[in-house]
Structures are given as structure tokens and as C-alpha cells.
Amino acid sequence: MQWIETNIYTTTEGIEPLCGRLYAVGLNGVQIKDAADFNDFIENETQYWDYIDESLESLKTCETCVTVYLTDDADGRELLSHIRGTVAELKALDNDGKFGRLEIELSGINEEDWANNWKKYYKPFNLGKKLLIKPEWEQLDDSETKDKVVLSMNPGHLFGTGTHHSTQLCMMELEKYVSKGDRVLDLGCGSGILSILSLLLGAESAVAVDIDPAAPATAMENLAMNGISPERYSVLVGNVIDDVALREKIGGDYDVVVANIVADVIIAMSRTAYSQTRKGGIFITSGIIGPRGDEVSAAITEAGFEITDTHTQSDWVCITAKKN
């Protein structure tokens, strides 16, 4: 197995919130390099050591960095996309810059090459009762696509290939709940996979929102790839939690609202999602690791929704709720 070293640059103050978000998207371990820790060690612990190796001297002035290791395959690339999304959200919330530059760098490999190498692992697959998800570069014959809702994707650097457990859980719930003529809202759209699927399933229109400024271009490319008119789709950039103007622009009365993000963001936006959902409408949310399921369920219920279904895949949870 090949591994890719992924470095995220922050500050001492940023370590805890950043690591919390990394654990929330499914990472099990991180490495931390922080000059403040080293300098504290120098000041308070050197009486226990005869000398300090010269190789450690660089830590005195190093930039604080949180390092994770990702597998060099489709799963690793999907996880990197999830990391990008949650780091972008943290950066947007850091109004005074105390968490540092929050930039991601891959070590020892050209990022563009790695982003393309994963394609050999991304193959067409069936999901639910009638869904078929395929990368846009794969050609299928009529016998493979007969009676299927076919979604073609090229997610670029954004989260949303359909291979991640949380994405698949949301897609199967959309297959169950989206009806002809529905209005759909996709919060944290990434590549646009969930909102575009909703249109293929019969929704009349969809609005997609993401904090990443790269989302509109990628989502619109995927929309065109699936032969859907752009008049039925719009992509907005911003943070729905604290941007009042954005929430007003999004509006409300949606038949289905879907959010495949992370637990903390879902908790924070539950009341907003409630206000954007019509009476009798459905809220579908995932990106939730198992241990956070009860906490997210409580927040959704407190916002006013009634939880109707909870599904799990691997250690990921998808919660579906109704606005009565």
C-alpha cells in the first residue's frame, strides 16, 4: 500500500479545532509538529536530558503543522476531498486569523498527478434499486444502462465521487424520497453529485451551496455532463450558518434538503435547514461518524424535525427527518 503525506498548516490555537474536524471526517490518527510544544520542553524539561539532538533544533521555529497519511487510491482521494471541505469551513469561521493559513500540501508527490492517478480505481457501480454512477471517461453499452438512472461524474478536487459511504447513504435516501417536480437544496454540495442526482431522479430544480469557491465550476461541468439544463440548477458560495444574505438568497420551502458534511456543521445548521424545508418536507444528512450519531439526532430533533430513518454503512450514519 502506498501512502501520501498530507500536511495542514495552522497555529498552536488551531490544533484542537483542526484535529477535531479531521477526526470527524473519519481519520483515526494525526501527527502534530508545533514550535510552542518544543520550546516548552526546552524551558521546562531539559534537566532530564544531557543534550538535545541537533536534528530537533529546527522545531524551535517550525510552522505548526498537522500531518495525516492517506492511501494512494480512490478512498484516499475521496478522504482528501472531505478534508479540503472541512478545512475550508474552519478557515471561513476563523475571522481573526488565529488558526493560521490553514493550507494543505501533499509531500513528495505532484498533487495534480495524484489527483489523476486515482482514476484507475474509480469504476462504474450500481447503487440502490436503479442508480448507476460512472466516471465520465468510462463508456457503457445500452445493456448496462437499461432501466438505470445514470449519473456521470468527474469531481475534480472536490468531495463527491459516490464511493464514500456517507455519499452512498444520501444517494439511496434521495432515490427513495425525491419525486417529480420537487425543489431540492444541497448544503455542502462539493462536486454537485447529490443535487445533480436529484434532478436526474425527477426534481424540477435544485440549489447547491458550498463554502469552496471551486464548487460552482465543477458542479456546472458535471451538470452539463449529464445533459441537464442550467436553468434548473444554481450553485452558490458561502457559509449558510452565519451569512444572513446568503440564506435569504437561498430562500425556503424546499421539498428535500440534503447535507453531506460533518457532524459539527450539521448540528450548527439544523435550525437553518428546518427553516428552509417546507412543511412535510424531508431533511437528509450524513457525513456523520458513528459516535456522533446521537448528538446529531438530538440537534435535528431540537430544531423541530421528526427523525424517520437512521441508516449506517461501515462507521457512517445517515439520518432522515421530516418537518411536520
What pLDDT is recorded for position 3? Answer: 80
Q: Kindly state whether residues 39 and 182 are assigned to the same domain.
A: no
Q: Kindly state whether residues 255 and 193 are assigned to the same domain.
A: yes
Cα–Cα distance for residue pair 320/127, rounded to 1 Å: 18
| String of DSSP letters for 191-227 | TSHHHHHHHHTT-SEEEEEESSTTHHHHHHHHHHHTT
* pLDDT tens track, the chain, 324 positions: 578 889 999 999 999 999 988 988 888 788 888 876 555 544 554 444 444 444 445 556 678 999 998 887 777 877 887 888 888 888 888 888 999 999 998 886 666 665 566 666 678 889 999 999 998 888 888 888 889 999 998 866 566 777 888 999 999 999 999 999 999 999 999 889 999 999 999 999 999 999 888 889 989 999 999 999 999 999 999 989 889 999 999 999 999 999 998 888 899 999 999 999 999 999 999 989 888 999 999 999 999 999 999 999 988 999 999 999
Cα–Cα distance for residue pair 212/160, rounded to 1 Å: 13
Pick from 83, 196, 185, 207: nearest CA to 150: 196
Q: Kindly state whether residues 196 and 49 are assigned to the same domain.
A: no
**Residue type at 234 in one-letter notation:** S
**Residue type at 121 in one-letter notation:** Y
Q: Kindly state whether residues 51 and 169 are assigned to the same domain.
A: no
Which of 66, 97, 117 is the C-terminal boundary of a domain? 117
CATH no. for residue 87? 3.30.70
Mutual angle of helices 263-276 and 293-303, in 10-degree steps = 20
Q: Kindly state whether residues 180 and 283 are assigned to the same domain.
A: yes
Which of 84, 117, 150 is the C-terminal boundary of a domain? 117
Q: Kindly state whether residues 298 and 233 are assigned to the same domain.
A: yes
Q: Kindly state whether residues 195 and 313 are assigned to the same domain.
A: yes
**Biggest CA pair distance of the chain:** 74
What pLDDT is recorded for position 46? Answer: 47
- The answer to whether residues 81 and 34 touch, using CB atoms and an 8 Å cutoff, is no
Q: Residue 95 falls within a domain, yes or no?
A: yes
Q: Residue 67 falls within a domain, yes or no?
A: yes
Q: Residue 124 falls within a domain, yes or no?
A: no
Q: Residue 76 falls within a domain, yes or no?
A: yes
- The answer to whether residues 232 and 202 touch, using CB atoms and an 8 Å cutoff, is no
Q: Residue 53 falls within a domain, yes or no?
A: yes
Q: What pTM value is reported for the model?
A: 0.74
Q: Kindly state whether residues 200 and 312 are assigned to the same domain.
A: yes
Which of 68, 96, 117 is the C-terminal boundary of a domain? 117
Q: Kindly state whether residues 177 and 310 are assigned to the same domain.
A: yes
**Residue type at 50 in one-letter notation:** D
Torsions phi, psi for 31 (to 5 deg): -115, 140
| String of DSSP letters for 23-68 | HHTT----EEE-HHHHHHHHHHHGGG-S---GGGGGGGSPPPEEEE
What pLDDT is recorded for position 242? Answer: 86
Determine the 3-state secondary structure of 73 from DSSP.
coil
Torsions phi, psi for 268 (to 5 deg): -65, -30
Domain count, the chain: 2
Q: Residue 141 falls within a domain, yes or no?
A: no
Q: Residue 193 falls within a domain, yes or no?
A: yes
Instruction: Using the Cα atoms of residue 222, residue 223, residue 225 and residue 226 in order, give the sign of their dihedral.
Output: positive
What pLDDT is recorded for position 112? Answer: 65
Pick from 167, 1, 15, 4: nearest CA to 90: 15
What pLDDT is recorded for position 55? Answer: 46
- DSSP-assigned letter for residue 148: -
Cα–Cα distance for residue pair 11/18, rounded to 1 Å: 10
Q: Kindly state whether residues 84 and 33 are assigned to the same domain.
A: yes
Q: Residue 97 falls within a domain, yes or no?
A: yes
C-alpha cell at 235: 450553485
Give me the domain span that covers residue 24.
3-117
What pLDDT is recorded for position 197? Answer: 97
Cα–Cα distance for residue pair 140/157, rounded to 1 Å: 24
Q: Kindly state whether residues 163 and 106 are assigned to the same domain.
A: no
Q: Kindly state whether residues 90 and 203 are assigned to the same domain.
A: no
What pLDDT is recorded for position 141? Answer: 87
CATH no. for residue 170? 3.40.50.150
Cα–Cα distance for residue pair 118/99, rounded to 1 Å: 31
If one counts every other C-beta atom within 10 angstroms of the C-beta of residue 141, the result is 7
What pLDDT is recorded for position 81? Answer: 78
